[in-house]
Amino acid sequence: MTSHDAQREGNAPFRFVHCSDVHLDAPFACPDADVRARLAEESGATLRRLVDLCLAEQVHALVVAGDLFDEERLTLATEELVAAELARLSSAGITVVLACGNHDSARPEGRMAALALPEGVLVAGAQPLLAEVRDGAGRVVGRIAAAGHARACETQRLVDALPPAGEGAPSVAVLHGFVEGSRGCERHEPLAPCGPDDFAALGHRYWALGHVHERQQVGRKPTAHYPGSLVAHGFAECGPRGALLVTLGAKGDPKVEFRPLCGARFETLAPAGLAQAGDLAALRGACTQAFETLRAGEPRPEIQWLLRFSLSGPCGCAAECQREELLDELGEELTVLLRPFGVLRAEVVDAGVTRPLDLAPHAGRPHLLGEALAVAAALDDDAVLDRLVPAALAGAPAADKRAYVRSLLKDIDRAAAEALLREVRP
């Protein structure tokens, strides 16, 4: 960098918004067609809120770390929406960097290659890019290095193609890739793999990642984040969805703030007190209470909810809970009951309900159930577990072998009790 360039680079912090995995026009995991239509509308509204956030915060750049849309499903209406919203940023002098992901790859015959994008929108596709980001006075406030997917199934290490950080203004790396060991990574293909050791090698101050849909920090030196999917498409993506507002000063760690943007929220709830729920009315009350507790912690009253009540453990009306048609009716009742509070749809599922049992009186007694409970209690003894390990696992670590046996024999005391008590039931 020349002395002339150094004079033009300001000391103001570099501020940008980082999002990923918007998946515009992707299907929603909901059987109700009307609800799916409302969620599609909310998807477009979330994109507009993303742009509004950039404008309100007067950031220098928007970074989209892959999968802005699902190209095989992208409609012309959504394509026009994308162009119009990005034009709002371009008109305000905000740089936009789109790193192609596996769902919006840069393959020549793909939709990304055909998009008419406004001036100021940069796409990292088949070739990596290194862009200077300037403020309104023309001073360089930051640099963005990005690598995109040239095809839909990119198994190569795109991180190796990223330009290293330069001197002067803070530098950001953008990559749609798989970080092994990240939360939720098992639900995604291991495309464009990378890891924390790669982050440190290139000198960038912040890594803007995409691909894994769960919001999390996966690197600290330097800072690396997945913002999570901007829009949730099913119960695998529970919790608030949004983007990260990042501030990079001349020194120190980046300031990273989560900003919720999506107006629809999927949640799976486990109602409490089921053992005391003796009928479906009481069960409905337990579900309602679980939602009220969740809703009390959500500051945005306009949220639209999709709820799954997952029932497990001892339940006073276990027999009813094991009848799918009754749970479907209960879900419909809850949908109507909670609709004034923004609930679009509620469903109730049996995740393993059992009838309440008091095993204490049977422990230590000289009968078959007492003996079965004694065997179950002995499973806390590592020596007992070691004798039960299958021969096929002989070479595995001891802790892994014991964990495997425990998983097979989980709740064996309850299972034995239910079977034996069923035999003596009149």
The pLDDT tens digits along the chain (426 residues) read: 443 444 445 568 999 999 999 999 999 999 999 999 999 999 999 999 999 999 999 999 999 999 999 988 999 999 999 999 999 999 999 999 999 999 999 898 888 988 889 988 999 988 899 999 999 899 999 999 999 998 888 888 999 989 998 888 999 999 999 998 898 888 898 999 998 888 988 989 999 999 999 999 998 899 999 999 999 999 999 999 999 999 999 888 999 999 999 999 999 999 999 989 989 999 999 999 999 999 999 999 999 999 999 999 889 898 899 899 999 999 999 999 999 999 999 999 999 888 776 556 656 666 655 656 666 665 677 876 777 777 777 778 888 878 887 776 566 555 565 555 554 443
Query: Cα separation of 298 and 43, whole Å?
Result: 20
> Taking the model in full, what pTM does it have?
0.82
Helical segments of 20-72, H only: 33-57
Residue 411 structural domain: 362-424
Question: Cβ atoms within 10 A of the Cβ of 152, count?
Answer: 16
> Structural domain tally of the chain?
3
Structural domain includes residue 4 = no
Burial class (CB in 10 A: 0-12, 13-18, 19+), 413: buried
Q: Tell me whether residue 218 is exposed, middle or buried, using C-beta atoms within 10 angstroms of its C-beta: 0 to 12, 13 to 18, 19 or more.
A: buried
Residues 277 and 257 in one domain: no
Residues 188 and 228 placed together within one structural domain of the fold: yes
Give the strands of the sheet with 255-260, arranged side by side: 121-124, 95-99, 61-64, 14-19, 242-248, 255-260
Tell which residue, 104, 210, 211, has the closest CA to residue 151. Answer: 104
Dist CA 294 CA 271 (whole Å): 11
Is the same domain home to 350 and 243? no
Does residue 249 share a domain with residue 292? no
Neighbour count for residue 235 (Cβ, 10 Å): 17
The answer to the question of residue 2 being in a domain is no
Residues 77 and 185 in one domain: yes
- Domain shared by 204 and 278, yes or no: no
For residue 423, give Cα distances in angstroms to 276, 356, 419, 420: 25, 17, 7, 5
